[in-house]
Structure 1
Amino acid sequence: MTTKLILTHEVSGLGAAGDVVDVKDGYARNFLMPRGLATPWTKGGQRQLDQIRAARGKRAIASLEDAQALKATLESKPVVIAERAGENGRLFGAVASKEVAEGVKSAFDKDIDRRTVEFPAPIRALGEHKATVRLHDDIFANLLIQVVAAKGSAKA
């Protein structure tokens, strides 16, 4: 059985906010709806969908040229993030997309939505790592993240 839903947030591999999708009942009931990522599709929900699309249009990077320029800026140098780490260089926890967005803000003075940051694998160790930032429908910036030991950790 499938359920028709309206996505309220971007879900990687499924769609963007405002998309109407058909997903399996369990995925809708156990993952998407409890996390507030989707709402059931109704005629009233269609009005909400129109509002989401309007808001997304305002938030989106205005043009392809702006996205290309931001991509060049983000790929120009690594983003340095200080995290607490143990003796062997492993982090206490992992680097989150929120921390990457804050690192971009401090390094480049550019705001990016933390929900557009994707990691190939969780970052749980010191060193260089890669992340992808979706700037536009088909423009992705490959971000180099330099994780260093924060003061007060065993490695510092």
Structure 2
Amino acid sequence: MKVILLEDVKALGKKGDLVEVNNGYARNFILPKKLGVEATGKNINDLKLQKAHQDKVAAEQLAAAKALAEDLAEKSVEVKMKVGEGGKTFGAISTKEIAAAAKEQLDMELDKKKISVDEPIKSLGVHNVKIKLHPKVTATLKVKVSEM
């Protein structure tokens, strides 16, 4: 029997896959637990329409992420840091502080978990920070660290 999976089933397939299973396995396990539906003509057409819609939404999200990456490349944020004698800094700039500065100065919501800093920012000056906007798109934001 052919079945369209509604959820991931271990050792069988992922959500949306069309798989061939034994009649008893389908009737006694997959269908009663609503892990899948029988692959009728209507259900197969619905699956095709769902996949087309998901592809369209994914393409729109990718385009939006690319546009945002280009926008972020031109912008920068300024973060102030406490400095002691001889230009020695106290602590480091965190991703939380960078996200807060971006919200305040650029009016952009950036997730602190998506911001990656190669090495801790412990010095004054301009630093480049990578922001993962999409699995295929990474933007660079300039962070100017100045004295308080």
Shorter-chain TM-score bucket reads 0.5 to 0.7
For residue 110 of structure 2, give the secondary structure of its aligned residue in structure 1: coil
**In structure 2, distance between residues paired with 1:72 and 1:108:** 14
1:89 positional shift: 2.6
| SS of corresponding position for 2:96 | helix
TM-score (norm: length of structure 2)? 0.57
Q: For 1:48-127, what aligned pairs fall within 5 Å after superposition?
A: 63-127=61-125
1:77–1:89: structure 2 CA closer, same or farther, 3 Å change rule?
Answer: farther
Q: Where in structure 1 do 4 or more consecutive aligned residues deviate above 3 Å?
A: none
Tell me if the contact between 1:120 and 1:130 (Cα under 8 Å) persists in the aligned partners.
no
CA 1:107–1:126: 2 relative to 1, 3 Å:
same
Number of residue equivalences: 90
The answer to whether the 8 Å contact 1:97/1:114 transfers is yes
- Alpha-carbon RMSD: 1.7
Structure 2: give runs of 5+ residues left out of the alignment.
1-59
Max Rg structure: 2
- Aligned with residue 136 of structure 1, among 130, 134, 137: 134
Instruction: Provide the residue aligned with 1:17 in structure 2.
Output: none
Q: Which has the higher helix share?
A: 2
Aligned residues of 1:131 and 1:142 also touching (Cα < 8 A) = yes
**Which structure 1 residue ranges, 5 or more long, are not aligned?**
1-61, 151-156
